[in-house]
Amino acid sequence: MTKSDSTVCLLDDDPSVLAATSRLLASEGWHVKTFTDPNAFLYDAENRNPRVVVIDMWMPKMNGLDVQRRLRELSPATRVIVLTANDDTLVRWNALAAGAAAFFIKPVRADTFVTSIRSAFATG
């Protein structure tokens, strides 16, 4: 994988979650690009077509389902993994039905989360 091929984009409105998740993914050898603003993330995704992204569902400016829908229009091949604090069955179902590769509730087991990122790169 080249450097750009191994980048994981993270979108979450909580800077502490971004920092912890970034550290975990960087320790596994991935490059990480973080975003707190869904619109900035979508602009970047439109221009870069990332292979794997991790998105939160509950953000003040735009919810994760809307981000996922717009991302699918901008970059259909991008693999989406959801990492959220609230386990809402309908949101989980909608995210997975819209093509999310995995859906995790914070806090997540590091090994399970890392395995899902690896799988997303392998199938994306």
pLDDT in tens, 51-110: 999 999 999 989 999 999 999 999 999 999 999 998 899 999 999 999 999 999 999 999
Across-strand partners of 55?
11, 82
**Extended beta strands in 59-121, E state:** 79-84, 102-105
Residue 39 has pLDDT above 80, yes or no: yes
CB atoms within 10 A of CB 121: 16
pLDDT at 46 over 90: yes
* pLDDT score at 123: 87
Q: Where are the domains of the chain?
A: 4-114
State the pLDDT at residue 124. Answer: 64
Evaluate the CA torsion angle 63, 69, 70, 72 in order and state its sign.
positive
In terms of phi and psi (left: phi > 0; alpha: psi -120 to 50; beta: otherwise), the region of 99 is left
4-114: what fold? Rossmann fold (3.40.50)
pLDDT at residue 3, as a whole number: 38
Q: How far is CA 1 from the centre of its chain?
A: 19
pLDDT averaged over every residue in the chain: 94
Which SS3 state, helix, strand or coil, does residue 101 take?
coil
